[in-house]
């Protein structure tokens, strides 16, 4: 069986989106399936455009970027050009090589391009988030506006026309069923983690302790993208309450994103530069060391329509590392964290509750260890990628493929 995945962007760009994609294609290959990837015009190319590259023995086909003309900057005209360009690239690839199924991943621009370019091949569409809700959360347009309604309609076109739909959470599946997508057409393939890679470490890395001057400190941390819905300003606010009771605490924020400058300004205004460290993007090979460095990993997502439905990937990495996880009680995170069992939950948007739970974890080594051990057991049993990827088999069979 040969599968062509259609992605918005991929490695070497790093994000939760690209890491899930990497896990999927590598795990499918290990099952003996032949896979390749084509990315959209949004793929960043550091050294100029190349039509094809090989990463970890997998073929990644690239689509030329859109031009910089006036039309390409107009809302929805830009998106139409995006779909048309990606569809043409798909058509060209499918004329050259045989693939049994086109597996497109959100946003819906990839799905629309797949439907246009796949010819008579079945299309599987994987929903990782809802385009209109993400744009609303990012302030690009408001809920119920014309742009919102058009984006929602585009999403629904793909949901109904694709031969099969995959979601990453039960919350997303429920949303699609409410929109009239037949339940039997939808499968849930949740986020997972490579538990053989993300393994507990007995000691904190001394080089990172020295680099960030963390001697004798409890270390709180976040590793991920700095998007508005992640609630990182709330975490900075919580630090003012935490430091009022315990001065031997530092917070490390590892990553970059649209909220980075806002966070820097907030940290400066609160005079927390010595206690809240914005580390920036770190080399991928150092990520495991940063997980080992942190005593508590915090995911303070705000409550939005999207976060109530979408499960994040990063908490699973921390859980596999046997770390105590503290997460806001939005719906997507409640699918991963059972309060008091494999992590703790706090009331979304409540800085004082967040601070209180942090102080509780800092003060109780035994609680942190117990939660971390249960977290590791949970991901090994239920969120290991090599097992999760097998859920794609019945999806592909449902669209007429025969698996060898």
DSSP string, 61-129: E--PPP--SSGGGSTTHHHHHHHHHHHHHHHHHHHHS--SEEEEESSHHHHHHHHHH-TTS-EEEEESS
Which residues are paired to 80 by β-bridges?
none
What's the pLDDT score for residue 68? 73
What's the pLDDT score for residue 404? 64
Distance CA 399, CA 121 (A): 9
271 in the Ramachandran plot: left (φ > 0), alpha (ψ -120 to 50) or beta?
left
Q: 65-68: long-range contacts at Cβ-Cβ below 8 A with a sequence spacing of 24 or more? A: 65/41, 66/41
What's the pLDDT score for residue 74? 78
Fold of 2-192+384-398: Rossmann fold (3.40.50)
Q: Would you list the domain boundaries of the chain?
A: 2-192+384-398, 206-382
Distance CA 63, CA 41 (A): 5
DSSP 203: S
Distance CA 121, CA 1 (A): 13
Residue 273, classed as helix, strand or coil, is coil
Q: What is the pLDDT along the chain (404 residues), one digit of tens a residue?
A: 999 999 999 999 988 899 999 999 999 999 999 999 999 999 998 888 999 999 999 999 999 998 777 777 777 788 999 999 999 999 999 999 999 999 999 999 999 999 999 999 999 999 999 888 888 877 778 888 888 898 899 999 999 999 999 999 999 999 999 999 999 999 999 999 999 999 999 999 999 999 999 999 999 999 999 999 999 999 999 999 999 999 999 999 999 999 999 999 999 999 999 999 999 999 888 999 999 999 999 999 999 999 999 999 999 999 999 999 999 999 999 999 999 999 999 999 999 999 999 999 999 999 999 999 999 999 999 999 999 999 999 999 999 998 76
Fold of 206-382: Rossmann fold (3.40.50)
pTM over 0.95: no
What's the pLDDT score for residue 67? 78
Q: Measure the N-to-C terminal CA separation of the chain; round to a whole number of Å.
A: 7
**Type and span of the H or E element at 52:** strand 52-55
Same fold, 2-192+384-398 and 206-382: yes
């Amino acid at each position: 069986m040969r599968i062509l995945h259609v992605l918005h962007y991929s490695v070497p760009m790093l994000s939760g989106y690209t890491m899930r994609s990497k896990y999927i294609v590598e795990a499918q290959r290990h099952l003996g399936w032949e896979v390749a990837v084509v990315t959209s015009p949004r793929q960043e190319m550091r050294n100029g455009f190349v039509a094809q590259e090989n990463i970890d023995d997998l073929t990644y086909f690239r689509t030329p970027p859109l031009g910089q003309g006036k039309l390409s900057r107009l809302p929805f005209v830009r998106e139409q050009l995006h779909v048309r360009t990606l569809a043409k690239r798909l058509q060209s690839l499918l004329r050259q090589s045989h693939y049994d199924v086109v597996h497109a991943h959100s946003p819906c621009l990839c799905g629309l391009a797949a439907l246009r370019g796949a010819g008579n091949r079945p299309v599987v569409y994987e929903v990782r988030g809802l385009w209109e809700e993400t744009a609303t959360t990012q302030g690009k347009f408001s809920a119920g506006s014309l742009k919102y309604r058009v984006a929602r309609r585009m999403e629904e076109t793909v949901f109904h026309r694709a031969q099969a739909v995959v979601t990453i959470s039960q919350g997303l599946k429920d949303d699609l069923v409410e929109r009239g997508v037949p339940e039997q057409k939808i499968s849930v393939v949740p986020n997972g983690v490579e538990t053989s890679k993300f393994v507990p470490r007995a000691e904190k890395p001394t080089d990172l302790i020295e680099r960030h001057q963390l001697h004798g400190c409890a270390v709180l941390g976040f590793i991920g993208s700095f998007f508005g819905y992640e609630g990182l300003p709330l975490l900075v606010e919580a630090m003012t309450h935490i430091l009022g009771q315990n001065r031997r605490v530092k917070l490390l924020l590892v990553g970059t994103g649209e909220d980075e400058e806002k966070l820097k300004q907030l940290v400066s205004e609160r005079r927390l530069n010595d206690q809240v460290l914005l580390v920036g993007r770190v080399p991928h090979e150092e990520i495991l060391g940063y997980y080992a460095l942190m005593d508590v990993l915090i995911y303070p997502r705000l409550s939005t329509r999207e976060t109530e439905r979408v499960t994040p990937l990063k908490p699973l990495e921390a859980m596999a590392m046997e770390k105590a996880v503290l997460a806001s009680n939005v719906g997507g995170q409640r699918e991963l964290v059972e309060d008091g069992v494999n992590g703790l939950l706090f009331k979304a948007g409540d800085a004082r509750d967040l601070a209180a739970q942090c102080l509780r974890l800092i003060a109780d080594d035994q609680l942190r260890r117990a939660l971390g051990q249960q977290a590791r057991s949970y991901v090994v049993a239920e969120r290991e990628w090599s097992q999760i990827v097998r859920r794609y088999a019945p999806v592909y069979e449902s669209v007429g493929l025969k698996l060898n």
